[in-house]
Amino acid sequence: MQTPSLLSLVQTAVEAGATLAFALSGLLEAARKRLDAVGMCVVAFLAAFGGGTLRDLLLDRRPFFWVEHAEWLWGLLALCALALPFLRARHFEPTERAMQWPDALGLGLFSASGTQLALQQELPGIVAVLMGVVTATFGGVLRDVVCNEIPKALQDHRPYALCAFAGGWVLVGCQAGGLGPGWALLAGAATATALRVAALVSGWRLPAWTPGEGH
């Protein structure tokens, strides 16, 4: 049996971490919306696996990453089963801000893994980076749509997709500069997550269009 490479192990660890982070963001959002147990599982699944599934479809990768790692499905179900009694026992009141922290971590990890997988297929840098953005954002978009929210990636006016875009280019640049793919993957993930956290902490917002401006 072939021994997995270091890059393969790092990629698997990054995808597992991203999946867990987005599953947590989905659970918190579902709890905030007072969904039942089935609703919480559905939202957590969409948040955790939506972006990676679309990436695998676009890259024509089979099996899908969550089919290849079926144990992650059991982990997600276990997380959902434990989350509801924990939230009730602790009288924890989920807030939108609490959901943003695991979301920021998942954003960075998925943007890097999506970019790296596209580069492994020898796609151009811009295509690889955009594939990372798709991987990082689509799960959150599905989560918010199902919860009857305008996707936060589009309406909170803080950098979101831009953070994933920047992290992807850091990965591409590091790899082009001779840094090992595993380290480049971690550098890209750290950059995207750090930028999103900085935007949340500082309150920095992107310019927004306001009706009547210029009149």
**Which residue type occupies 80?**
C
Structural domain boundaries of the chain? 6-202
User: Residue 171 in contact with residue 163, Cβ under 8 Å?
Assistant: no
Determine the length of the chain.
215
User: Residue 52 in contact with residue 68, Cβ under 8 Å?
Assistant: no
Taking alpha carbons only, the member of 89, 71, 69 closest to residue 9 is 69
Written as tens digits, the pLDDT of the chain (215 aa) is 334 566 678 788 888 888 888 888 888 888 888 888 888 889 999 999 999 899 999 999 888 888 888 888 898 888 888 877 776 655 555 566 667 788 888 889 889 999 999 999 999 999 999 999 999 999 889 988 988 888 877 777 778 889 999 999 999 999 999 888 888 999 999 999 999 999 888 877 777 666 665 55
Instruction: Read off the pTM.
Output: 0.82
Helix, strand, coil abundance in the chain, percent, nearest 5 = 75, 0, 25
